[in-house]
Structure 1
Amino acid sequence: MTLRWEAFLDRVQERGEYDTAEEAERAARVVLALLGAHLVGQVRAELAARLPEALALVLLNPLQAAEPLTPDRFVRATAAWIEGATEQTAPWDIGAVLSIVADAAGDQLMDRILFQLPPGYDLLFGRPPASHRP
């Protein structure tokens, strides 16, 4: 199921408690550009197919990452790219976006996404660590 643009941004705005849709969109674009640099092949294509077209394009044409970012470095990179964000507020931005992404992806695709990412990303998606899942 593909989320519509407005529905996706409304959910990000609600979860992130942003004052405007523009703030939600800025967070979504930065987080998805960084995430897209870490995903490859069919997993990235399947996730893109479940996102609104404009955000799918961001995911499919990511910022280039020289190496996979650890969750901590992902947070720092997000803080650097979102105007006004700090390393303390960036996890909130990331969680607002990636929790919606996780909802759109569903459990099976999320397992495949997390397999491609360095350990610790489960928490950024608002999921319990793999070691704590039933």
Structure 2
Amino acid sequence: MTISWEDFRARVVERGEYRGEAEADHATRVVLGLLGEHLVGADRGEIADALPPTYGSLLRDARPAAEPLTAERFVLGVVGWIDGATPATVQWDIGAVLSTVADLVPGELLDRVIEQLPEGYDLLFGHPTSV
């Protein structure tokens, strides 16, 4: 059973300390949409299955990116989609969303996803890997 859309959003609101649900929902849609462009194969579907359908579809429906973004470029990509955002505020947004995702998926799936992404995404998910 997956978490409800309302419960997922409530967790993001709490972690991101958002003033409202709409702000958290927008950040979630931006982060997951961009992440979906960089995940491939069955792992992408497995993560999507762990999310509420509204958010899972953002991963499934994203067109694959021509090339993977570094973690730094991922942050800058999100900045472009959130009004008034800075790299620092977007890191907070990304952390609120991706740490919520990380809590919902099995550890081995999260490890596989982090392995397929460029260096630095482990920190964005709130699960730093050892050096």
TM-score normalized by the length of structure 1: 0.93
For the residue of structure 2 that corresponds to 1:6, the secondary structure is: helix
Cα deviation for residue 65 of structure 1 reads 2.0
What one-letter code is carried by the residue in structure 2 that aligns with 1:93? D
Residue equivalent to 2:77:
77
Residue equivalent to 2:55:
55
Of all paired residues, the percent bearing the same amino acid is: 55
Please give the alpha-carbon distance, in whole angstroms, between the structure 2 residues aligned to 1:63 and 1:126.
25
Map of 1:7-46 to 2, 5 A cutoff? 7-46=7-46
Please give the alpha-carbon distance, in whole angstroms, between the structure 2 residues aligned to 1:130 and 1:37.
26
TM-score normalized by the length of structure 2: 0.95
Aligned-residue Cα RMSD (Å) equals: 1.1
Q: Structure 2 stretches of 5 or more lacking a match?
A: none
Cα deviation for residue 116 of structure 1 reads 1.1
Q: Structure 1 runs of 4+ off > 3 angstroms?
A: none
For the residue of structure 2 that corresponds to 1:130, the secondary structure is: coil
Residue equivalent to 2:111:
111
Residue equivalent to 1:65:
65
| Number of residue pairs the alignment of both structures matches | 131
What one-letter code is carried by the residue in structure 1 that aligns with 2:75? V
Cα deviation for residue 97 of structure 1 reads 0.2
Please give the alpha-carbon distance, in whole angstroms, between the structure 1 residues aligned to 2:2 and 2:57.
14
Map of 1:83-102 to 2, 5 A cutoff? 83-102=83-102
Deviations 1:10-63 (A, max 9, x none): 000000000111011000000001110111110000000000001011111125
For the 8 Å contact 1:98–1:124, the answer to whether it is kept is: yes
